[in-house]
Chains A and B, each alone.
Chain A
Amino acid sequence: AQTVTQSQPEMSVQEAETVTLSCTYDTSESDYYLFWYKQPPSRQMILVIRQEAYKQQNATENRFSVNFQKAAKSFSLKISDSQLGDAAMYFCAYTRGQMNRDDKIIFGKGTRLHILP
């Protein structure tokens, strides 16, 4: 069974600094997708970034980038130049690449990120 583990329940970072959130996963599949979702106090889960397992290049979206280590099954999120609006709960998630009807997205437990002014 696939699992997603986020070992840091909470983290804090000074505004304008860089922070890295950790995520590891376990799967026997070779084709899959990984995601980072952000849930701010407004509660809306927002897709931040996604990575296709077959792509070696790490995904980047503005200040957000990932370090995808397929062999180590690690998928960390780096936030550069942290801003107060980045304060949120961050969820790492996994889906199989070729989903069938019964497949579902697997979420980690989340990491709460605090931004210190």
Chain B
Amino acid sequence: ETGVTQTPRHLVMGMTNKKSLKCEQHLGHNAMYWYKQSAKKPLELMFVYNFKEQTENNSVPSRFSPECPNSSHLFLHLHTLQPEDSALYLCASSQRLAGGRDIQYFGAGTRLSVL
């Protein structure tokens, strides 16, 4: 148990569905992240939230919509996805301090399959 919990663990959805991924961290961290992990590709950083403010959006398509209602919760809302969006989606959190290091702790991920 690393203190970062992701639900659901597995999700199968059609291209017209709307679903949400949830991440919750119990570590008192101030930053949260969404990563996409596809086979044979490096981890892709999608979104970063520092103190609930989105500070990074790496050209992610608008069919992925993040939401960070508080420093402990992070959502990824999905709609009209494509089959190539099938991947493992990892959430991470860290305590980011100005001028300090960033050690990220990860959840177990959500395995998403888009049919």
Q: Which residues of A contact B (CB under 8 A)?
A: 33, 35, 37, 42-47, 50, 91, 95, 97-105, 107-110
B42 at the interface (CB under 8 A from A): yes
The answer for the CA separation of A47 and B48 in the assembled complex, in Å, is 19
Chain B contacts for A104, CB-based, 8 A: 45, 48, 56, 102
Interface of B is mostly: loop
Docked-complex contact B101 and A42, CB < 8 angstroms = no
B66 at the interface (CB under 8 A from A): no
A98 and B99 contact, Cβ closer than 8 Å, known pairs A44-B2, A104-B45, A107-B42: yes
CB B36 to nearest CB in A, in angstroms, measures 12
Docked-complex contact B108 and A44, CB < 8 angstroms = yes
Docked-complex contact A99 and B96, CB < 8 angstroms = yes
Q: In residues 21-45 of chain B, which contact A (Cβ within 8 Å)?
A: 40-43, 45
Contact of B102 among A42, A43, A44, A103 (CB under 8 A): A103
Contact of B42 among A35, A100, A108 (CB under 8 A): A108
A42 and B55 contact, Cβ closer than 8 Å, known pairs A50-B103, A98-B100, A99-B101: no
Docked-complex contact A95 and B101, CB < 8 angstroms = yes
CB B51 to nearest CB in A, in angstroms, measures 10
Q: In residues 69-94 of chain B, which contact A (Cβ within 8 Å)?
A: 88, 90, 92
CB A49 to nearest CB in B, in angstroms, measures 11
By size class, the interface of chain B is: 20 to 34
Chain B contacts for A33, CB-based, 8 A: 101, 103
25 contacts between A and B (CB under 8 A): A33-B103, A37-B106, A42-B108, A43-B88, A43-B111, A44-B2, A44-B106, A45-B90, A45-B106, A46-B2, A46-B106, A47-B103, A91-B43, A95-B101, A98-B100, A99-B99, A99-B100, A100-B98, A100-B99, A101-B50, A101-B98, A104-B45, A104-B56, A105-B102, A105-B104
Chain A contacts for B105, CB-based, 8 A: 47
* Most chain A CB within a 10 A radius of its CB, from B42, B55, B90, B92: B42
